Amino acid sequence: MDAADRIKAAIRDVPDFPEPGVVFKDITPVLSAPELFRDAIDLFAERHTGSGIDKIVGIDARGFIFAAALSDRLGIGFIPVRKMGKLPCETYEQSYDLEYGSATLTMHKDAVRDGERVLLIDDLLATGGTASASATLLETAGAELHEIDFLVELTYLGGRHKLSGYSIYAPIRY
């Protein structure tokens, strides 16, 4: 069994969370097993070692886990994309629609320099709204978006379509 299969086997389904009819893909068993978490970081590291990326951007909140560990592994900087009101300095803001309402993501204006190559990471690709808003933030800041990576992709929700034009990587797909 390869690393992606081992990780997929550990992800558990939680029915009716966060609301009835939704089957939540829970990655916490992967995070709590050191060998599986290492496998997950290895999947990303093997893909990006020597790729010339300057920084790794993690999406609030579970994207931070993978992005920070990968940043450490590759020896490059980490940038958080946060929910509105969480960053203390001057920020770029990008609002986007959710199923019931809207949300706003922010990033410090001094987080990237024009032309820096960045990798964007989150734990899971569902509808693509959060990743799309994050990509817009990075482009507004002048970054070159190398790729958008997710540990898991829920293909049946069509999020990849919302991110057309970007290179997408997700080793685990449902």
Q: 121: domain CATH number?
A: 3.40.50.2020
Which pLDDT value is given to residue 101?
Answer: 78
Closest CA to 27 of 14, 5, 11: 11
CA distance 160 to 111: 26
- What single-letter amino acid sits at 124? L
Please list the active-site residues.
62, 99
Q: Confirm whether 34 is domain-assigned.
A: no
Q: Confirm whether 114 is domain-assigned.
A: yes
| Length of the chain counted residue by residue | 174
Per-residue pLDDT tens digits for 10-39: 999 999 999 999 999 999 999 999 999 999
Q: Confirm whether 156 is domain-assigned.
A: yes
Statement: the pTM of the whole predicted model exceeds 0.85? yes
Q: Name the residue range of residue 158's domain.
A: 52-173
Number of domains comprising the chain: 1
CA distance 16 to 24: 7
For residue 80, whether the previous peptide bond is cis, meaning omega lies within 30 degrees of 0, is no
Q: Confirm whether 122 is domain-assigned.
A: yes
Per-residue pLDDT tens digits for 38-57: 999 999 999 999 999 999 99
150, two tokens: 């997710």
Interior angle at CA 102, CA 98 and CA 107, nearest 5: 105
Q: Confirm whether 6 is domain-assigned.
A: no
22, two tokens: 């939704």
Q: Confirm whether 160 is domain-assigned.
A: yes
Q: Confirm whether 40 is domain-assigned.
A: no
Burial of 95 (0-12, 13-18, 19+ CB in 10 A): exposed
Torsion of CA 163, 117, 173, 34, to 10 degrees: -150
Per-residue pLDDT tens digits for 70-115: 999 999 999 999 999 999 999 999 999 876 779 999 999 999 999 9
Q: Confirm whether 124 is domain-assigned.
A: yes
